[in-house]
Structure formats: C-alpha cells, structure tokens
Amino acid sequence: MMCTIIKASFLLAFGFIIRMFLITSSYQKMIADRVEVSTPVNSWRRAVEGVTLMKLNISPYEGDTFHEVPLFLQFYHFLLTNFEQWIPLIFAIIDILTGLCLSLASYNQLKTIKRWEKIRLSKLPSSDAKKLEIPEKSIAQLSFRVLAIYLFLPYSIMACTAQTTSVLINFLVSLTMLFISFGWRVIACSLVALLTYHSFYPILLIFPVLMVSEKTNQKGKSFTYASKSSCFSLISCSIATLLLISILVMISKSITGSYDFFSSTYYFLLSVPDFTPNIGLFWYFFAEMFDQFREFFLWTFQINSFVYSIPLSLTLKNNPNFFFLITLILLSLFKPYPSVSDLAIYLALLPQWTHLFTYMKQGLLVACVFISCSVLAPLMWHMWIILGTANSNYYFGVTLAYNVGQIFLITDLLFAYLKREFYLSNGIKVDDKDKPLKLELSAE
C-alpha cells in the first residue's frame, strides 16, 4: 500500500512538472493555437476576451467572441481579477486532480462491479467463474494505470498546456464519477446539472448516474424499470436535476439582465454557425451544405447525440458504470465542437475495462487510427493552411478517420461487453476442441 502511494505521488509530481514546464514555455502559444485543442467553446483566449468586454461594460454575448454561460464567465472573471499570475498553476493543479479523481473512481467502480457480479459468478462452474472474475489484486493496479495514462497522455497534457476551459469540464466529469462511485447521488446529480447548464449535451450523463445510484441502493440486483420504487426514484431525481438547471439559468438571467446569452451559448451549439475546423464532423459538412438542406441535416446530426441513450440504458442496465464510459465516447463523437480533451478522459478510463479486452477484435485497428490521425492532423493542416499545397479535404479526411475510429471503439467495446454478459449468464461454451464457441450478434 505504501509503495503504491509513493508511486502515485511520484506520478502526480512528475505530471505536474511536465504541465508547468509546457505552460510556461514557448510551446504554449503554439499548442493553444491548434484547432484540435482549442475550439470556439473552450478557448481560454476567448474567455479572457469575454472577461475584458465585461469589464468594459460591453456584453460578451453581442458578438461572436464568447460562447460560455454567464456563471462560468463570472468564475473566469474571479480568476483573472484575483489570481491572474497563478492561472497556469491553477490549470495544472485542476488537471492533476482530474487524474486523481478518475483513478479513485475507477478503483471504487471496479470494487462495486466485482461485488455486483459475485452472485452471478457463483452460479457458474468454477473454471468459468475464475476466467470471468475480476482479480482482486488487479483492481489497485488498474486504477493506478488510469492515473498514469491520464497524467502522461499527450491529449490531456496539450489541453492543460493550452489552458482550455475543457480542463475544468473534465474535472467536473471526474468529480461526478467519483461521487457516484461513493453513492452520493445528490452531489453527482448536481454536478450533472452544472455540466448540462454549461453545454446541454452532458444531460445524457444523468441516465448512467441515476442507474448507478439505483443499482447501488438495490445492492447489485439486476436493474429494472418495472419497479415502482425505481421509477419513482429516477423520475424524482430527474425532475430535481432539471429544476436545478432551471435555477442556474434564472441566476444567469439575473446576472446578465436578459436571456440574450442563449443565442451565443445554447443556440450557438445547436445551430453550429462557426465553421472553424476541428476534429468533429460538423464543420466540413455544413460549410459545404446547400442552405435549403442545412436545417434538415442539422437536426439529423444533433439528434444523434441523444437518440442512443434509451436503447443503451436498456442494454447496459447490468453495468451502468460501463454506460457512463460509452456516453462519454458518444459525447466526444457527436458534439459540434469537440477537442482532444474529450478523447483524453475516456482513453484514460479504458484500463478499468481490461476484463473486456479479451473479447475485443479491433483494438489494434483503433489504436493505429488514433496514432496515425494524431500524426497526420498537424501535417495536413500545415499543407492546407501554411503551404497551400492541399485543401480542406485533406484535413477533413483525417478527422473523418478519427471519428470512424471512435465508432469502431464503441462497437468493439459494446460487442465485448455483450459477449462477456452472455458468458456470465450461460457460462463459457466450448466446442469439441475445448475452444470457446464463436458468438455473433443476432437481430432476433
């Protein structure tokens, strides 16, 4: 135990040093200018401009500069007014705490999953149960890997170096995971409300958060929507979360004096008027889209962010912690202005699910796609913008491959989860040569 604490302390210190070195170096501006890192909704430069306009008694929401909600603007104003010289230090500390929260949350979740699966494993032959069980001694090691990967993942380091406001959002997400892993439903739902108030897409996190808390209250029993107590609990918590969001919006209205901020925040995310290139799918499609088709495809794109939550909540009801991970990947895939910080948080969580890796088939392909896209994106950008020897299709080709990689990752994880669920329910079926039978998904 003491050895683990020493290792974790060393990792935290080293991760902090790397971030502080890069933030205070000449590379900071170069990284902050990267479109893969900074977007119109998370750029710290835009946050500073918003605060400056507010100090000059000019509404930051009148132009096309600032696109975050008023309470977050007030927070940035507080930081820049009182701790301007400490901003790099604050960002580095917040990012380090994010990694720590993710590690602790993963440790608690693995303990909880092991407890939930204990009854199901007891019904299987001992040989099958041994293959499917999450080893107790590996839990601390896996949570340690989560910490190490997040601290030294280039994507999280770049987001912190650029001082993007996504660092704060990732911290809130990690806190949500941590609190719900302890069973603190009220605080977790409050954090989901705060994240939703910032940009409404995180409302999808309310499904896995409530399912985790309800399954914990049922002491690991299979989650069912048919239970009256479960339905009442879910509905009441959902209503309370929506009320809290409404209160935050009303507070914002009292700060700004009107609801004009809606057009530069929520409507900005919905209408996607800014075609600044990023690693998402929206910018290229809608830059090339004919105006008469724009609204139709806009709604088609936007609905993808929400339409999968209900079927996934039914499919992943036995493990809502896994549902949380899948939701994070979906948010990264379908948001109009994603950045590498969205990728960083769920990649860091993958070691928690190493018990699924045995059943995955496309892990190497996904890894190669992410690595190649990370190398090619700045090269294609340089050819397009700097040298002028390429065009937008080159860069969009890389972003398209990146998002296809995310789709492969989701489908592979889901297939691996369903395969393991089948084994947990039916045991490991083998053929005459004592090899596991091939399982295929069926539409029946």
Per-residue tokens: 135: 């080893």
DSSP 8-class letter at 385: I
Using one digit for the tens of pLDDT, what is the confidence trace for 259-285? 989 999 999 999 999 999 999 999 998
Backbone φ and ψ for 84, nearest 5 degrees, come out as -60, -40
DSSP 8-class letter at 390: S
Q: Given this model, what pLDDT does residue 437 score? A: 67
> What one-character-per-residue DSSP string does 152-191 give?
H-HHHHHHHHTT-THHHHHHHHHHHHHHHHTT-HHHHHHH
Q: What global pTM score does this model have?
A: 0.94
Per-residue tokens: 285: 């499609």
pLDDT at 8 over 90: no
The verdict on residue 110 lying in a domain is yes
Identify any residues that bridge with 175 across adjacent strands, giving them in sequence order.
none
Give the integer Cα–Cα distance in Å for 142 and 135: 10
DSSP 8-class letter at 42: T
Task: Say how many domains are in the chain.
Answer: 1
Per-residue tokens: 74: 């007030």
Helices and strands, counts by H and E, the chain: 21, 0
Q: How many percent of the chain have pLDDT more than 70?
A: 93
Q: Given this model, what pLDDT does residue 176 score? A: 96
Per-residue tokens: 215: 């399954």
Q: Which domain holds residue 328?
A: 2-426
Using one digit for the tens of pLDDT, what is the confidence trace for 119-168? 888 888 888 888 899 998 899 999 999 999 999 999 999 999 999 999 99
The verdict on residue 297 lying in a domain is yes
Determine contact, residues 389/441, Cβ cutoff 8 Å: no
Per-residue tokens: 154: 């280039």
> What one-character-per-residue DSSP string does 52-80 give?
HHHHTT--TTSSSS--S-HHHHHHHHHHH
